[in-house]
Structure 1
Amino acid sequence: MNGTVAAVCRNGEHEFSKPQHESITLLAGLGVEGDAHLGVTVKHRSRVARDPSQPNLRQVHLIHHELFDELAATGHTVQPGELGENITTSGIDLLGLPRGTLLHIGDHAVVEVTGLRNPCTQIDDFQPGLLKQVAHRDNEGTIIRKAGIMGIVATGGAIRPGDQVRAALPEPPHQPLERV
């Protein structure tokens, strides 16, 4: 399963969106250099308030560009970085990956997939009605989360738009993604 990097983003401030850059650097065990979520322990404000010593399983946020096309069909215009992701991919089914998948990105970087992003109400502050497009219940009542996946940096390296993304699945049995 292969794809490409469509955009890379980071923001040193705790703001909803992240500006695009020509490249970002992943630091092993920490996250994206220069990003507000960099660190061994949690950096998301709500999680820090609960327990600041929790491990940071959300060092890197990835979203598939195909989501933006889906959102456009519902009247929402979204560009890479606007939903707070660090890496926008194309051509790879991020949401279908099992937990523990290793994403080899570019020449050296490796991100281990830890789970699904759980979008919050800030997404509706960005664009009203967007939350129900990226997190809703199916006919059986199961919550469907489409706002991307989270991961930790296993191996650092620079990443640029156009870089290849290659998924290496873990040994079976595969564990489905859950919110982190």
Structure 2
Amino acid sequence: MIRINTSSRVASINISGGGIPKRPIPAVLIREGGLEGDGHNHAKHYRPAQAVSLQDIEMLEELTREGFPLTAGMTGENIDLNNVNVNRLPIGARLIFEGGVEIEITRKRPPCYVLDVIDPRLKKTIVGRCGVYAKVIRPGALENGAGVTVELPVSHECLVEKV
């Protein structure tokens, strides 16, 4: 793994009994099955490889500027991050949070039909920008504001343009 130290932080932790929106909370215990207290309305969402859903707070801000007023948790994500760009992380990248929680990106998150309640146009607009799913590698407690370190798989090719 290639470790990238960033100024990234947890911007929001979000849970719900099922469905959207998820409500922000100050801290949570993350187990192998996901965030404690978080429910799933659809069995297809309840898999270890989809235990945690992540989005960038900057992406929600971008979508708000595009006419979709979104706040943390509104699109069903469990964790909003600042300064990570999760939509560009490769499968297999790991996020290590201050305090010890570690997760691994497993797949891109497709938009769900439940977004139609926010705006019927959102599902089409958010394709490719809906965040990612991750499995839990090391469970533990996570707090808002915790720092995040990104580790890229060694096989990952850098996204740097040739000069």
Q: 1:35 aligns with which of 27, 35, 38?
A: 38
Residues 4 and 89 in structure 1, CA contact (< 8 A), matched pair in contact too: yes
Contact 1:68 1:79 in 2 (8 A): yes
RMSD, aligned CA:
1.8
Q: Superposition pairs for residues 35-54 of structure 1, below 5 Å?
A: 35-37=38-40, 44-45=42-43, 47=44
CA contact (8 A) 1:7 1:20 kept: yes
**Structure 2 spans left out of the alignment, 5+ residues:** 158-163
CA offset digits 1:149-174 (Å, max 9, x no partner): 10011001111111111111112146
Quick check: which one's strand share is greater? Answer: 2
8 A Cα contact 2:90 2:156, kept in partner:
no
Identity level (%): 27
What is the correspondence of 1:1-180 to structure 2 with a 5 Å cutoff? 1=4, 2=6, 3-11=8-16, 13-27=17-31, 29-37=32-40, 44-45=42-43, 47=44, 55-135=47-127, 145-173=128-156
Pairwise CA distance, 1:76? 1.1
Q: Which runs of 4+ in 1 moved over 3 A?
A: none
- Provide, for residues 13-69 of structure 1, a one-character-per-residue CA deviation record: whole Å limited to 9, x for no partner: 222211110101111x221112114xxxxx833x27xxx9xx531100010011112
- 1:129 Cα offset (Å): 1.5
> Could you state the TM-score of these two structures normalised by the residue count of structure 1?
0.78
Aligned positions, number: 152
**In the TM superposition, what is the alpha-carbon distance from 1:96 to its structure 2 partner?**
1.2
Tell me, in whole angstroms, the C-alpha distance in 1 between the residues paired with 2:119 and 2:97.
Answer: 30
TM-score by length of 2: 0.85
The residue identity in structure 2 corresponding to 1:86 is N
